[in-house]
C-alpha cells in the first residue's frame, strides 16, 4: 500500500470514528480530509468501498497493537488489562451510531468486523485464558471455549442501545465493567490478588483517545 493511500484510510477512519458513517458523503469526506473527490475515487469507487477499506485499515491497526501487547509476555491479567485499555481508547472517541451504521448499511465492512471478532478476538482471548490457567491466575474448572464465546458476545452488548442507552451509558465505562466482571468470574485466589493489585494501581482504566497512526 502506498503511503498516500495508507494515510487516506487512517484519516478516513478518524472521521468515521468521530462522526459515524451513514451521514458522511464523499463530498463531506473530501472536505474533512482536505483532498479532492478525485483523490478519493482514485482508490475507491463508492462509499461502501471506502467504509470497507477504512475497516480493513482499522482492523490491521488493532491487530498490530494487540499483538505488540501480547509480545510483552505480561501475566494474563496484565495482558487483558492492557488490551482492554487499548480498546477503550477507541471507544472514548467512537460516535454512538458507528456500530449501528456498519451493521445496517455497510455489510462488507460489518462482515470484516465480525470475522475479526470471531477469529482474531476469539483466538487472542483463548490464548489469554490458557496462559492464565497455566500460570495459576485463572481457575481451571470451566469450559474455556464457552467463556471465550460469552466474552466476545458481550462485546456486542456494549454497543446495543436497547441494553445500554447512549443517553445514560458510555461505551468505555460499560466495557471496563464487563472486563472486571469477566476477570472476577474466572480468576483464582492468586488471580484475584493480582487483579486487586492492578485495580489499586489503576492499570485498568479509561485512557485518552489514541492516535491511529502506526507504521505502514
The string of pLDDT tens digits covering residues 172-186 is 999 999 999 999 999
Q: Is residue 188 a contact partner of residue 137, using CB atoms and an 8 Å limit?
A: yes
Q: Does residue 34 sit within a domain?
A: no
| pLDDT band, very low/low/confident/very high, at 161 (cuts 50, 70, 90) | confident
Q: Does residue 91 sit within a domain?
A: yes
Higher pLDDT, 210 or 67: 67
* Alpha helices (H) along 135-170: 144-158
Q: What percent of the chain has pLDDT over 90?
A: 87
pLDDT on residue 211: 59
Task: Give the CATH number, domain containing residue 154.
Answer: 1.10.357.10
Q: Above 70 in pLDDT, residue 165?
A: yes
| pLDDT band, very low/low/confident/very high, at 216 (cuts 50, 70, 90) | very low
Which set of grid coordinates corresponds to residue 151? Answer: 466474552
pLDDT on residue 116: 97
Number of domains in the chain: 1
pLDDT on residue 4: 87
Which of 6-10, 61-65, 105-109, 159-163 is predicted with the least confidence, judged by mean pLDDT? 159-163
Cβ within 8 Å of residue 163, ≥6 positions away: 157
Let me know how long the chain is.
Answer: 216
What range does the domain containing 96 cover? Answer: 47-200
Q: Does residue 97 sit within a domain?
A: yes
Phi, psi (deg, nearest 5) at residue 187: -70, 140
Q: What is the mean pLDDT of residues 63-70?
A: 98
Amino acid at each position: 500500500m502506498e503511503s498516500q493511500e495508507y494515510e487516506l484510510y487512517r484519516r478516513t477512519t478518524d472521521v468515521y470514528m468521530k462522526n459515524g458513517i451513514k451521514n458522511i458523503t464523499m463530498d463531506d469526506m473530501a472536505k474533512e480530509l482536505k483532498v479532492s473527490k478525485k483523490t478519493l475515487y482514485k482508490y475507491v469507487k463508492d462509499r461502501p468501498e471506502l467504509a470497507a477499506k477504512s475497516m480493513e485499515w482499522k482492523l490491521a491497526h488493532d491487530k498490530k497493537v494487540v499483538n505488540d501487547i501480547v509480545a510483552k509476555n505480561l501475566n494474563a491479567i496484565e495482558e487483558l488489562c492492557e488490551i482492554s485499555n487499548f480498546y477503550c481508547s477507541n471507544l472514548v472517541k467512537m460516535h454512538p451510531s458507528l456500530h449501528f451504521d456498519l451493521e445496517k448499511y455497510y455489510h462488507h465492512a460489518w462482515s470484516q468486523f465480525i470475522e475479526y471478532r470471531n477469529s482474531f478476538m476469539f483466538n487472542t482471548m483463548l490464548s489469554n485464558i490458557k496462559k492464565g490457567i497455566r500460570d495459576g491466575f485463572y481457575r481451571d474448572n470451566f469450559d474455556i471455549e464457552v467463556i471465550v464465546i460469552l466474552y466476545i458476545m458481550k462485546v456486542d452488548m456494549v454497543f446495543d442501545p436497547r441494553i445500554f442507552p447512549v443517553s445514560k451509558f458510555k461505551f468505555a465505562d460499560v466495557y471496563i465493567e464487563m472486563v472486571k466482571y469477566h476477570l472476577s468470574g474466572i480468576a483464582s485466589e492468586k488471580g484475584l490478588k493480582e487483579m486487586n493489585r492492578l485495580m489499586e494501581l489503576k492499570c485498568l482504566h479509561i485512557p485518552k483517545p489514541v492516535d491511529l497512526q502506526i507504521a505502514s
